[in-house]
Structure 1
Amino acid sequence: MDDDLSFSTLVLALSGQLVQEIHTRVAAQGFADLRPVHGFAFARISRGEVTTADLAGHLGVTKQAAAQLVEELVRKGYVLRRPHPQDARARLLELTARGRAATHAADQAARAAVAPWREALGAERFGALATDLARLAPNGPIRPAW
C-alpha cells in the first residue's frame, strides 16, 4: 500500500474510532438519545445566527434532511426555534440548556477519548500532531463556539 493511501485509511479509522468513543461517552452521561450527527449540528448551532438552510450546508445534506434533524432535536428538547429578525419565513436555531449540557458532555468526552493518544505519543509529539492537523483542516475545528 502506498503512503498516501495508508495515511488516508489511518486517518479515517482514527476519525471513526474517535466519533464512536465520544458518542459512547456522551450517551453514558445521560444523552443516549443523541447520534453523532447531532454533535456536528450542535457545533454549528452554537455559533449563533443559523437557520435550517445554514445547517444543511454545514452538514452537507438537503434542506429537507436538515429540517427533519432540527424537528427531531426540537422534539427532544435540545434545540429551539425563534423568529428571524430579517426574514419572516426563516427561524433561527438555538441550543437549549439541555443542548448546551450535551455539548459540554461531548467536550469532556472528546478530551477523555484522546487522552490515551496523548499518553502514547507524549505531550510534545501530541502537541505537534495537533498543530499539524490544525494546518491541514481548512475550516478549523468543528467544536462548538463558547
Structure 2
Amino acid sequence: MDDALALPALVLALSGQLVQKIHARVSQEGFEDLRPAHGFAFARISFGDATTADLAEHLGVTKQAAAQLVEELVRKGYVLRLPHPHDARARLLGLTETGWAATRAADQAARAAVAPWREALGEERFKELVADLTRLAPHGPIRPAW
C-alpha cells in the first residue's frame, strides 16, 4: 500500500483503539455512565470560557445537539452552568468535582493506553513521535487544562 494511503488508515485505527481503551478504563474507574463523546466535551469545558455554542463548534455538532449533551452532563452531575460575566443570555460551562475526577481518570487511562507504544518505540523515538505529531497537529492535543 502507498504510504500516503497507509498513514490515514493507521492513524484512524490507532485513534479508534485509543478511544476504546480510554473509555474502557474510565468505565472501570466507576464512570460507567460516560460515553467517549463526553470526554471530548470535557476537554473543551476544562479549557475554560466555554459556552454551549463553543462546545458545539469544538465537537462539530449543532448548538441543539451540544445543548442536549450539556443537559445530560448537568443531570449526571459532571457539568454545571455558571453566569457569563459579559453576556446575560449565555452561560459558561464548568466541570464539577465529579467531572474533574472523570477527567483525571481519562488522563491516567490515556497514559496507560500509550504505554505499550512507549515500550515498543523506546523513550527517545516515542518523544520524537510526539514532537512530529505536535508539528502536524499544532492545535492539539485535546487535553484538559488543569
The corresponding residue for 1:70 is 70
- Structure 1 Cα separation of the partners of residues 10 and 74 of structure 2: 36
The corresponding residue for 2:111 is 111
The corresponding residue for 1:12 is 12
Return the offset for 1:131.
0.6
- Structure 2 Cα separation of the partners of residues 133 and 48 of structure 1: 24
User: Which amino acid is 2:60 matched to?
Assistant: G
Structure 2 counterparts to residues 75-90 of structure 1, below 5 A: 75-90=75-90
User: Which amino acid is 1:17 matched to?
Assistant: Q
The corresponding residue for 2:125 is 125
- Structure 2 Cα separation of the partners of residues 83 and 44 of structure 1: 18
- Structure 1 Cα separation of the partners of residues 83 and 74 of structure 2: 15
RMSD: 0.7
Please report the TM-score for the alignment, with normalisation by the length of structure 1.
Answer: 0.98
User: Which amino acid is 2:59 matched to?
Assistant: L
- For structure 2, the 5+ residue unaligned runs are none
- Structure 2 Cα separation of the partners of residues 85 and 119 of structure 1: 47
The corresponding residue for 1:33 is 33
Return the offset for 1:59.
0.5
SS of residue in 2 equivalent to 1:65: helix
Please report the TM-score for the alignment, with normalisation by the length of structure 2.
Answer: 0.98
SS of residue in 2 equivalent to 1:46: helix
**Post-superposition, which runs of at least 4 consecutive aligned residues in structure 1 deviate over 2 A?**
none
Return the offset for 1:140.
2.1
